[in-house]
A and B are shown apart, each in its own frame.
Chain A
Amino acid sequence: MVRRVMHMDMDAFYASVEQVDNPHLKGKPVIIGASKRGMVSAASYEARKYGVHSAMPVFQARKLCPNGIFLPGRKERYREISRKIMAMLQNVSPLVEQVSIDEAFVDISGTGALHGPPGELGQKLKARIFKSTSLTCSIGIAPNKFLAKIASDMKKPDGLTIIEEEEVHSMLGQLPLSKIPGIGTKTTTFLERLGVKSPADILRHPPAFWTQKLGKAGSHLYRMAQGIDHSPVTPSPVIKSCSAEDTFPEDTQDMGLVKKWLFHQAETVARELRHKGLKGRTISLKVKFRDFKIVTRSLTLPDPTNCTQTIYEGACRLLERLHTSGKIRLVGVGLANFQKGPQQMNLYSNLHTLRSERLDSAMDKIREKYGDELIKKGLIMDLNP
């Protein structure tokens, strides 16, 4: 059976969602990431024309694109749409590996009888996603994950690229190194110094040459240059942790304010886990100080939780234990050490926890129905994340 892997990548996902939800933003440069010192998490294609791209500091994006519309982003909304899209992929094949909120691999080997040839399947899927969300995506279909990812990137936005086995070498041979996933700027510079500009150049040296230069990464590089990738599409890789973090608009020493952020993050993390039906035992806190020094601390609870209040209290305890006096730039809360299956009841799980859990489920239901903004804890009433 011919192996065929599909890579689906949403086009400028966060920015496009905003343009769909707010039609007046259509055709305008929309940039997600509004905090003074944060990073751009998405830029619409209109904004990209100005040179704005994700993972760029917001202040730099403002310089490049002074007319841009900078939005703080609504993670919960993006997750909701992402879930819808991922469910559509599940209908194509059970072998779906979600890589991030807007990106996934699907193993479609042997689905021809069911869905038709890959080109047809790609078109149908794109149409289905567009009909349901008004969003476009780019799809690449190739004999393995590595090539599928390259393919989806070839005709962005709204592209569909199919690489057949016999086209691999001609296609790959002349591809610029920067287009190859896994080759970063450092490796590119290193390779350019050796006169290597494309995968074809890599193949001019024997594998031993690359292993000697780069060790294990060298043999990996050689395989990539040949378009070989045996890694399987792993459905729902086991989630090991869940976290949220924010850079503050201004560095702060105000622990009350820091705790408000912690609450907001605890809530984000807890909600995500409640949605996934996961509970974790290890709470972690990340603090970045004004001098960019990062400190992380964690504690492990006797019993797993996904209760907002419990995670918040754990994070506060970790913060207090830091005995910090310096100005803080960023905080983050995470939960890990997930446990599924039968749950041991605790002797001392008191009324307090039970009440908080009931409150969580009530708030989740209200928000699902009426949106996130309708109900908020008093503690973070004045916080605008």
Chain B
Amino acid sequence: MKIATDKGTLSQVLQKVQAITEKKGGMPINAHALLRATEDKTLEVSATDMELSIRTRIDVDVLTPGETTVSARKLLEVVRELPREEVTLQSELNHRLLVQSGRARFQLSTIPAEDFPEMKFYEDMELFPFDAATIRKCFGKTMYGIPQENDPFSVAGVYCHPIGDELLRFIASDGHRLSYYEVPRESLAGLHMEQGIVIPRKAVQEILKVIEKEESIFLGLMEKHFILKTRDTLLSMLLLEEEYPDYRLIIPDERPHSFLVNRDDLHAAVKRVSVLTNTKWRYVRLIVSNGSLHLQAENFELGNASDELDIEYEGDDFAVAYNVRYLMEAIQVIESPQVCLEWLDSHHGGVFRDPEDPGYVGLIMPMVV
């Protein structure tokens, strides 16, 4: 195999596949990307961790068609450091890949392409076109709620399930908070599902990366796999087979109290008082009274902070404390000028909504202070 291309294109494509090779405890081959140069001026780059597989392509000058595998991470690091735009990759004897640019030469160890695991992309399957912006919202507005650690008590993925015949809902929850985004089923028509599916965390991150600059994409479901296709990339994702907890009971149906507040002001005020929070003292107290929202952060070690915002609210006084990170993340995904906070009482989760986008709900359980 011998190809010539430019540094920018090559590093971009390697960035797309690199995250998939970062799994701990995998076999050495799983850290490798499969490079395949074909006669039609194409370099295909693939990677898999056996659960999540990607195949993407770029246009290059193919001098000799062929294939090999090389450490995705090392190749990306090498390419980033190259002195010139022009790069050539060339298979050598003794299982080496020669990377050349200007007078810089790197010879990287390879593993033969025959040893690369088989990836299932179900290419004969019928895929349906979707609006990439909608998919970006479904995952982008919920992803923050996926559990951070490998927590055996919650499901580390986005749960997607139909609500009646009308809606499709995407949910993430880590046991302390929950976020969902729902869209009319017709906007995702073609994605047939009777029950819910759970798309694992890493797959969600990869989807968002792959569709970042796309307008239209293709999706399909097959044999526990979720398939996504763009102009140049194919993603195959093994779904999580875990039962999702019945989260619906914990969203209070009745939320008699609410107010609207300017999103940017709220975000800035929370960020401001959060300077005095730390890993031990991580809550911000919201004190709601007629016409005003008072924010307080207390920290026995550092001191305390407060700020106040004008809101349109008339009703009983209400005070609640939330983890500051959860609060920021729930607000951050709201794109409208205003945020709506709704609640039942201080024992139930507070609900953050986007008044201009009814699809989004962010629920945070309070902290007992």
Q: How far is the CA of A124 from the CA of B297 in the complex (A)?
A: 47
Which of B175, B245, B369 sits near A302, CB closer than 8 Å?
B175
Decide if A91 is an interface residue (CB 8 Å cutoff): no
Select one of A299, A303, A341, A347 contacting B178, CB under 8 A: A347
Let me know if A302 and B250 touch, CB within 8 A. Answer: no
A344 at the interface (CB under 8 A from B): yes
CA distance A266 to B176 in the complex (A): 26
Neighbouring A residues of B281 by C-beta, 8 Å: 341-342
**What are 17 sample pairs from A and B whose C-beta atoms fall under 8 A apart?**
A301-B153, A302-B151, A302-B175, A342-B321, A344-B365, A344-B367, A345-B347, A346-B175, A346-B176, A346-B365, A347-B175, A347-B176, A347-B178, A347-B247, A347-B363, A347-B365, A348-B250
Interface of B toward A, CB cutoff 8 Å? 151-154, 173, 175-178, 245, 247, 250, 280-283, 321, 323, 347, 349, 363, 365-369
Taking a contact as CB atoms under 8 Å apart, the answer to whether B177 and A347 are in contact is yes
Closest to A341 in B: B280
Query: Within the complex, which residue of A341, A342, A343, A347 is in contact with B250, where a contact is CB–CB below 8 Å?
Result: A347
With both beta carbons as reference points, the residue of chain A lying nearest to B300 in the complex is identified as A341
Which chain B residues lie closer than 8 Å to A301 at the CB level? 153
Whether the pair A347, B321 counts as a contact (CB closer than 8 A) is no
B176: which of A299, A341, A342, A344 is its contact (CB, 8 Å)? Answer: A344
Contacts of A343 in B (CB 8 A): 367-368
Q: Is the CB of A345 within 8 A of B366?
A: yes
Q: Which 6 A-B pairs have the closest CB atoms?
A: A345-B365, A342-B369, A342-B367, A343-B368, A302-B153, A302-B175
Chain B residues whose C-beta falls within 8 Å of the C-beta of A344 in the assembled complex: 176, 323, 365, 367
Residue from A341, A346, A348 having most chain B Cβ neighbours under 10 A? A348
Q: List A contacts of B250 (CB < 8 A).
A: 347-348
Q: In the bound complex, what is the Cα–Cα distance between A289 and B65 (angstroms)?
A: 62
Q: B177 contacts which chain A residues (CB < 8 A)? A: 347
Partner of A342, one of B178, B247, B283, B349: B283
How far, in angstroms, from A348 to B154 measured CA to CA in the complex?
Answer: 10
Which chain A residues border B283 with CB–CB below 8 Å? 342
The 8 Å CB contact of A347, one of B151, B152, B349, is: B349
Nearest A-chain residue to B152, judged by Cβ: A299
A330-348 interface code vs B (CB 8 A; 1 in, 0 out): 0000000000011111111
Known pairs A343-B367, A346-B175. 5 more at Cβ < 8 A? A302-B153, A342-B321, A344-B367, A347-B247, A347-B363
